[in-house]
Structure 1
Amino acid sequence: MAQPGTLRVAVVGTGRMGADHVRRIQQVTSGARVTAVVDVDAERAEAVAAGVDGCTPYTDPAAAMAADDVDAVLIASPGPAHEAALLTAFAHDLPVLCEKPLTPDAASALRVLEAEQSLGRRRVQVGFMRRYDAEYLKLKALLDSGQLGRPLLLHHRHRNVASPPGWRSEMLVNDSVVHEMDVTRWLLGHEITAVTVLRPTPSANAPDGMQDPQFVVFETDGGAVVDVEIFVNCGFGYQVQAEAVCERGTARIGDGHAMVTNMAGRWGGTIAQDYLDRFADAYDREVQAWVDATRRGEVTGPGAWDGYAAAAVSEAGVRALDQGGRAEVELVERPPLYR
């Protein structure tokens, strides 16, 4: 919605991610403020709203979206709740920033895609924040420039200190590697056509029954081969790294060497401990870009097609994990709205 004044945002979901977005919009982002928060836990919604002047707590997303003081929606609730929230936002013609996943599976993502097409214009930006990270932006610009020639291989490493409670083997694919799925598509400009998941001996630090680490291989329609090491119980820190191997050179990001110290006979630095630390600046840029575009009456950044494609690749990845071997990605033809 284009307007000269401040964008009034409803934040749906006030867990760790949603609460951080409330803080970000109120303290970091220009041109927006939070006027509503929604959570099924009424006490949590009330506690978050109490810290924001003029903010109303809700337990029903539809009630918040119908409010006169809401111009846009940021969805940070659990993935299974996204489809209903997105369709409600469409009914009110509200622009949306939806944290990943767009929805948890390809079928529901396709329903969202079709509903947005019926509006005749894009309304959704999906929260793949790596596209706003300074290092990834530099790598994207370098690859797009053609200086290194055609990308042949792309290596990713994705490590977490420890997996959240209740995590299962398939969640390494559809909750963690989904970021590499999106950033691969974005960096290379390719669609992922097949996924293979290799299963080394699980780490002793992994919860019982969890296959961790995993080694995931993507094939793309542009002929590149991409690998992802996903290790969510590495124990020492949060690391996200990528290296592009091209015809005339290579480029690597994510080494975390912003500052290296030398003292007492040792050299070293620090390792981020979670994603909110490592990607804080990227989240700031992402939300600011969404606010700026929304105030101009535009939608930019990764959209519903990207969310659907990630869901389809995730499903192939889970099939490959469960069945072993290679699983092909099943994608519908890309609609004109997203070309």
Structure 2
Amino acid sequence: MARLETLKVAVVGAGKMGADHVRRIEEAVSGARVSAVVDVDAERAKAVAARVEGCTAHTDPAAAMAAADVDAVLVASPGPAHEAALLAAFARDLPVLCEKPLTPDAASALRVMEAERQLGHRRVQVGFMRRYDAEYMKLKSLLSTGQLGRPLMLHNRHRNVASPPGWTSEMLINDSVVHEMDVTRWLLGQEITAVTVLRPAPSANAPQAVQDPQFVVLETDGGAIVDVEIFVNCGFGYQVQAEVVCERGTARIGDGQAMVTTMAGRWGGTIAQDFTDRFADAYDREVQAWADATRRGQVTGPSVWDGYAVAAVCEAGVRSLAEGGRVEVELARRPALYDVS
């Protein structure tokens, strides 16, 4: 495949994440431009498309992908719409960057995986952006050297100022802890085999009937134990922290060592208030890496297998939340297409 000079991208979904990706591609990513915007809300699609010269607006993903000026697809629509958009992209053999979740459940993720396997080559990079965060990348690099010895435990904290309207207890697992599930697999190079969700007394700041915070314990096939404190109505800021405990040492990220000021008898800094703030560089790096690989005719980054494996872990987590106790993760056999070289 000849190298594409400029990657022409159809962005599916014009909500907060999709609109931010349109801005990102136009302002921060080289070698790519947005040629089409798709949203079920026609007016919203038109409003976002109007920000980009020559960009067209659509309500049907398949119609947008059929346009002559679309080389690739970025899917940022709600999770339940991902499967249809991915299958439409496969029908035209178009490369895709699909925001997490790949799909909302393991069964639909398996269908997507089988459809990609039938193509005979990878087409999807899943948007687990923490793999592109500078701090997580440094931690991964350090663990890969073996200097600290075998990882034994991984502690995670994930806090949001407030949950969006309509959030449920299950969404703390499916939309928040999903990130820790992926970075656990990536950092440790191990699959998650069981999930236990513990339910502390709900915060007074949590919406009615929402179990917040939660304490999630993950077990891996390498014998590591991983814990995640998820607290999405902490009230003070957005924090993501991780500490890995190994045989010969520990390593911690996420302490927010940004600028500290001293003034008027006080010292301190700031705490990010939103994930798009905290991970802005990671999103830029992720989309740039996808665009560069796609222009070379390659697919890199988190795969459909990764999306499926995390969906299966989420299902076990939601079941543990509902029923209590430890729930084992059931995974299908990994196809050779996704074997790690």
- TM-score grouping bracket, smaller chain normalisation: over 0.9
Partner Cα separation in structure 1 for residue 2 and residue 188 of structure 2:
32
**Contact 1:205-1:233 within 8 A present in 2 as well:** yes
The unaligned stretches of length 5 or more in structure 1 are: none
Find the aligned partners of 1:4 and 1:194 in 2 and give their Cα distance.
Answer: 43
* In 2: Cα distance, 1:303 partner to 1:93 partner: 16
| Offset, 1:282 | 0.1
Give the match for residue 259 of structure 1.
259
Say if 1:2 and 1:220 are closer, same or farther in 2 by CA, change over 3 A.
Answer: farther
Quote the residue 1:289 is aligned against.
289
1:260 positional shift: 1.6
SS in 2 for 1:141: helix
Separation in 2, partners of 1:331, 1:218: 15
Distance (whole Å) between structure 1 residues aligned to residue 2 and residue 283 of structure 2: 22
Is contact 1:196–1:218 with CA below 8 Å preserved after alignment?
A: yes
Question: Counterpart of 1:169 in structure 2: which amino acid?
Answer: S
Q: Is the 8 A contact 1:89 1:96 kept in 2?
A: yes
**Other-structure match for 1:54:** 54
Q: Give the deviation of 1:5 after TM superposition.
A: 1.6
Say if 1:108 and 1:2 are closer, same or farther in 2 by CA, change over 3 A.
Answer: farther
Q: List per-residue Cα deviations over 1:164-219 (Å, max 9, x = no partner).
A: 10000010001100000000000000000000000000000000000000000000
Give the deviation of 1:2 after TM superposition.
Answer: 4.6
TM-score scaled to structure 2, two decimals? 0.99
The Cα shift of 1:258 comes to 1.7
Counting only pairs closer than 5 Å after superposition, residues 75-90 of structure 1 correspond to structure 2 as 75-90=75-90
AA aligned opposite 2:107:
A
Find the aligned partners of 1:221 and 1:260 in 2 and give their Cα distance: 41
Amino acid at match of 1:72: A
Alignment of 1:334 onto 2:337: no
1 CA distance for matches of 2:2 and 2:132?
23
Shift of 1:265: 2.0
Cα deviation, residue 78, structure 1: 0.2
Structure-2 residue corresponding to 1:324: 324
* Per-residue Cα deviation, 1:242-295 (whole angstroms, up to 9, x for no partner): 000000000000010122222222221100000000000000000000000000
Q: 2:188, 2:105 → 1: CA distance?
A: 24
Residue by residue over 1:130-171, the C-alpha shift from the partner in whole angstroms, topping out at 9 and shown as x without a partner, is 000000000000001001000000000000000010000010
Name stretches of at least 5 consecutive residues in structure 2 with no aligned partner: none
Does structure 2 retain, via aligned residues, the 8 Å contact 1:2–1:294? Answer: no
The equivalences for 1:37-116 within 5 A come to 37-116=37-116
Partner in structure 2 of residue 14 of structure 1: 14
CA distance in 1, matches of 2:2, 2:110: 28
- Name the CA distance, whole Å, in 1 between partners of 2:180 and 2:237: 18
d(CA) in 1 for partners of 2:64 and 2:233? 38
Compared CA separation, residues 2 and 131, structure 1 to 2 (3 A): farther
User: In 2, are the aligned partners of 1:154 and 1:243 still within 8 Å (CA)?
Assistant: yes
Contact 1:200 1:213 in 2 (8 A): yes
- Give aligned pairs, total: 339
User: How far, CA to CA, are the matches of 2:257 and 2:288 in structure 1?
Assistant: 26
